[in-house]
Amino acid sequence: MEHIIVRQEEEKDYRKVEEITRAAFNYPERIQRGKIGCPYEHWMVHELRQRDGIIELSLVAQQKNGTIVGHIICSKAVVKKESYTLPVLNFGPLSVLPEYQRQGIGQALIRTMIEKAQKLGFGAILFFGRPEYYPQFGFKEAVVYGISDAEGYNYPAFMAMELKEGYLKNVCGGKFFESDIYNDMLNRETVMKFDENF
């Protein structure tokens, strides 16, 4: 998109990015409906910066006038098979302000993230997302690589992509483990307290 610049997030962007993420996932309305929702995406972004996030892969979509309208972040994850542990990337949340959605901004963030992750030398990305959307970027169901989630399950929303050919071959039969910030039951009280600042 000619009018959008994708760049690395800077510290001055932090609060704006959290506000965008909160709005993109309709957080206030979810609370009103009694559906708090998981995994509290605006808090996740905040917490990933402190813990398991990859700062080089925390990217914002910015208009030429300087307005930030979207964000994506990657985090550290692993695939384990017996005593073998393979580092991989997880990504999410991916956020675009509601009024800017369906304009290709999310696609620009994803494509830039994939390209940059390859340049940084990462071997694979695994994550949970919409199976009707992400194959256009090269993602496949993780079962293609013989990898299940941490509980041993496979389903279309669990997807993977090799950034280096053959990177996942030694973990066929392995399980995927992401940061515990994605556990809504574990973090519910912390998130509600964090949200009081918005």
Structure confidence by residue, pLDDT tens digits, 144-197: 999 999 999 999 999 999 999 999 999 999 999 999 888 777 777 888 888 888
Instruction: Give the pLDDT of residue 185.
Output: 72
Q: Given this model, what pLDDT does residue 35 score?
A: 52
pLDDT at residue number 172: 94
Residue 180: φ, ψ to 5°: -75, -5
pLDDT band of residue 27 (cuts 50, 70, 90) is: low
Residue 31 has pLDDT above 60, yes or no: no
Average pLDDT over residues 55-69: 96
In 82-179 the beta strands, taken as DSSP E runs, fall at 84-96, 124-128, 140-141, 158-162, 175-177
Checking if the pLDDT of 20 tops 50, the result is: yes
Helix, strand, coil fractions of the chain, as percent rounded to 5: 35, 30, 35
Residues 57-75, mean pLDDT to the nearest whole number: 96
- Per-residue confidence (pLDDT) for residue 39, from 0 to 100: 46
Give residue 38's pLDDT band: very low, low, confident or very high (50, 70, 90): very low
The pLDDT tens digits for 45-55 are 999 999 999 99
- Say what the pTM is: 0.90
DSSP state of 38: S
Among 131, 135, 143, 151, smallest CA distance to 171 is for: 143
Q: What is the mean pLDDT of residues 118-142?
A: 97
